[in-house]
Amino acid sequence: MHSALRVLRASDAGVVAELDDTKGGTEELGLTVLGFAPLAGDTRLLVGHQRRGRWEPMLWDVATGTETDLRLDLPGDVSAEWYPDGSGLLIVHGFEARSELWRYEIATGALVRVETPAGSVSSATARPDGSVEYLWSSAAEPPVVRSTAGGVVLDPPGPKAPPSVPVEDVWVEGPGGRVHALVQRPAEGEGPFPTVFEVHGGPAWHDSDAFASGPAAWVDHGYAVVRVNYRGSTGYGREWTDALKHRVGLIELEDIAAVRAWAVESGLADPSRLVLSGGSWGGYLTLLGLGTQPDDWAVGLAAVPVADYVTAYEDEMEALKALDRTLLGGSPEEVPERYAASSPLTYVDAVKAPVHVSAGVNDPRCPIRQIDNYVDRLAARGAVHEVYRYDAGHGSLVVEERIKQVALDLDFAARHLGTRASEG
C-alpha cells in the first residue's frame, strides 16, 4: 500500500538514489513516480507523496538529492505531469468526486486554471504548443477527448452512448466520519424507487461524477443508483483511505449501511427492493454484505468477487497477498480470526437474498476455486442463486461479453424484484 522509490542507471543497473517515506517514523507514507523532466540532462524526477495527509507532487533531483516542495493551495488529492518544455506542470486536482486541471509555473510558483467543464477528467496531457488534451465526462454525459485549443480531438466511429442523468451529492454521518455518496434518480417517476447500491472496487479507488455505463443502464430501467465512497476510498485524504485496516470489509459495510438508512428514510429507496451489487472488491463487499446484513438486501449481484478469503489468499497473485497482509495485519496463519471475520464464506448460511455471481475462470486476482467454494455452500442449503462463468480473467474487455453480463444482472433483478425486464 505504501511504496518506496529506487532509481537505477540503465547502463549497469547501479543504484543512483533511493527515497523511502516509510522509514524513521510510525506513519506509513507512500510515494509514486510521476515522471522524469522531459529535458536532456535534467535529473529532476516528479514524485507524488503523502507527507501532508493527501497525494501531492514534489520535485526530487536524483543526482543531488535535493527535494523541492510544491505547496499547492488546493483541497483534495493532487497529481501532475510535465509540460513538454519542462517549464511547468499540468496539475490534475481531484476533490469530492470531481476533478479539474491547472498549470503550475515552476519558476514563479503561479497556479493558473485550465478551463474544463464540470465533471471528471480521467486523463490529460500537455502538447508542445501549450494546449492540453483531456478525456472528460460527467455522470450525465458520455466520455469525449477535448482540447483546450478548441473542439473534439477524438470522435470514434459507431453508435454514440446516449446521455444519462446527473448525480446528486449526499453526505451522511457514518461511524468513521461523513460519508460521501453519489445518487442518480430515474428521469421519470417519484420515489421510493427500486434502488441499486453499486459498490466500487479497489478498495483504493472512488466513484466520481464521471460517465458509467452500468449505472446508466440501471437508471434507464427505472432504478435509482447509489454509489458510496466508503472508508478505504481515495480522494478524501490519506486518513480516510488508510482507515481500512484489520476489520476489512466490515468497515466499508458500516458506511454503506449508513447511506442505506438515509436512502430509505429520505424516500429515495424502496426498502423491499434494494440491490447490493459490485465487481472485484465491490463483489466481495456484496457477498459479505448479504451475509452480515441479510435483512437489508433483496438481491445480490457479485462479479469476480472474493468469496472465500483464505482460499483466495492461497491462489491469488503475490502482490495481492502482500496487500492482504497489509490490510489484515498478517497472513491467514498469523491472524486467522481476522480472515474469518472478513470472509463472505463465514456468513454464507445467513444469506437470504437471491444471489447472482459472475466469474472469469482464468482470474488471477479473484481465483475461481474460492468462488466455487462459496457457490457450493449456497447450493448445499438450497439457497436461490445463479452462476455465470465465462472464459476470461478479472472481467472481460470484449464489448459483447460485457453487454451480456449487464443484461444478465438486469434480468436477474427483474425476475426477483418484479421490475421491468431488460430489453435487447
Report in angstroms the alpha-carbon separations of 339 from 116, 249, 251, 291, 313: 45, 10, 14, 15, 10
Residue 161 DSSP label: P
Is pLDDT of 126 > 50?
yes
Sorting pLDDT into bands at 50, 70 and 90, what band is 424?
Answer: very low
Q: What is the dihedral of CA 140, 142, 148, 151, to 10 degrees?
A: -110
Distances in Å between the Cα of 87 and the Cα atoms of 292, 371, 373, 402 are 54, 51, 56, 43
Looking at residue 237, its pLDDT comes to 84
Helices (H), ranges, 233-308:
238-242, 250-265, 281-292
Q: With pLDDT > 70 as the criterion, what percentage of the chain qualifies?
A: 97
Per the prediction, the chain carries an average pLDDT of 94
- Hey, CA dihedral for 160, 164, 169, 172, is it positive or negative? negative
- Flag whether pLDDT at 422 surpasses 80: no
* pLDDT at 207 (0 to 100): 95
Nearest-angstrom CA–CA distance, 51 and 31: 9
Reduced DSSP (H G I as helix, E B as strand, rest coil) percent helix, strand, coil of the chain, to 5? 25, 30, 45
pLDDT in tens, 343-383: 999 999 999 999 999 999 999 999 999 999 999 999 999 99
The mean per-residue pLDDT over the stretch 385-410 comes to 95
- What digits encode the pLDDT tens for the residues 215-255? 999 999 999 999 999 999 998 988 898 899 999 999 999 99
Region 15-30: what's the mean pLDDT? 79
Q: Higher model confidence: residue 262 or residue 151? A: 262
CA dist list (Å): 177 to 173, 174, 267: 6, 5, 23
For each of the domains in the chain, give its residue range(s) and CATH number, in order of start: 5-154 (2.120.10.30), 168-417 (3.40.50.1820)
What's the pLDDT tens digit per position in 253-297? 999 999 999 999 999 999 999 999 999 999 999 999 999 999 999
Q: What pLDDT is attached to residue 423?
A: 43
**Percent of residues, the chain, with pLDDT higher than 90:** 85
Q: What is the pLDDT of residue 28?
A: 66
- Judged by average pLDDT, the poorest of 1-10, 24-33, 35-44, 191-200 is 24-33
Give the tens place of pLDDT for each residue, 55-104: 899 999 999 999 999 989 898 889 999 999 999 999 999 988 999 999 99
pLDDT in tens, 188-214: 999 899 999 999 999 989 999 999 999
Q: C-alpha grid cell for residue 260?
A: 442505506
Write out pLDDT tens, residues 85-97: 999 999 999 988 9
Output 331 or 76, whichever has higher pLDDT.
331
The secondary structure element, H or E, covering residue 388 is strand 385-390
Predicted local distance difference test score (pLDDT) of residue 29: 80
Q: How many CB atoms lie within 10 A of CB 123?
A: 11
CA distance 386 to 122: 35
Residue 54 in this model has a pLDDT that exceeds 50: yes
